[in-house]
Amino acid sequence: MSKDNMSVSNIHHPELQVPIPDTSDDERTIAALKSIPDFDDNFTIQMLVSKILTDDKQYDMSKIMSAYEFASKAHAGQKRSSGQDYIIHPLAVAYTLLELGMDTDTICAALLHDVVEDTDATLADLKKRFGQDVALLVDGVTKLSKIPTYSKEEQFAENVRKILLAMSQDIRVMIIKLSDRLHNMRTLKYRPLEKQRTTALETMNIYAPIAHRLGIRAIKEELEDLSFHFLDPFAYAEIEKILESKKEEREEFIHVIKERIAKRFNSEMFSQPPQVDGRVKSIYSIYKKVFVNHKDI
């Protein structure tokens, strides 16, 4: 990929100082953004229940089902920008949190995280029905959603301070918010173009770095890739195309290296040899490699 052919603006990632290409709202850009694939997010309560039943962790199924029924009733008739029933969003957030191994109250709070802000339900209602822990988690997420999100550097710094403060009170609030942002980014294509860009910038500058600090690599990398896709769909598509063209070669290389490492561990007579795994760099990580380290893709 040629670095010289990319137009770079003065917008930077705060930690890595990575330049983000400036894309204008011309017809080509609009077409590229509209062509971003739909995310398959038809989450159902059956999917959530199935995930819980196959999990080694113990959950209070009755409490989770009660939270779902409360949220489903509260959000009845509401739609997402995609046209889907609103309840799909809290189900998606809850599913992500299940994958992270979060507890029952966190799952309940995920299902209920928008009811105070978007419906007639109150924190008192949640406390009475689901307990103080769930109510406090929902309150924390609701407060985070009310933080102004201007793109000025000073305001972004203020956002970070408030988010870090929320993290220090109960880390679960921030993990719910990250999962909430992840699903919103997965469905961002249905929002207006300007909203797409400001949300992607905020995600890149605030939420991805926090996911990194919390050690949630999968969410951090997906947030970065999704943000990058909206900030520069052309560079994203170019890197994606190159990765696809070298897929078999890359997979074979990873397989060979894994075999060599596993063989070495076995030869050292470990009582329980560690599991060896390999991964491909994310698209945004490759972008940073090109622009920061000035290496070929």
How much is the CA Rg of the chain, to the nearest whole Å? 21
Choosing from 22, 41, 118, 170, which is the catalytic residue?
A: 118
Active site residue 240: no
Residue 194 annotated among the catalytic residues of the structure: no
Within 13 Å, how many C-alpha atoms sit on residue 161's CB side?
A: 7
Catalytic one of 25, 38, 99, 117 = 117
Distance of CA 78 to CAs 40, 41, 72, 170, 266, Å?
A: 20, 17, 10, 30, 56
What residues contact 179, with CB distance under 8 A and at least 6 apart?
A: 93, 96, 97, 100, 110, 219
Query: Are 197 and 230 in contact, with CB atoms under 8 Å apart?
Result: yes
Q: What are the residue ranges of helices labelled H in the chain?
A: 27-34, 45-53, 61-74, 88-99, 104-112, 115-118, 123-130, 132-145, 153-169, 171-186, 193-202, 208-213, 217-231, 233-245, 247-267, 283-292
Q: Which amino acid, 170?
A: D
Q: What tokens does 224 get?
A: 């970065």
Nearest Cα to Cα of residue 138 among 99, 94, 101? 94
Supply the residues annotated as catalytic.
117-118
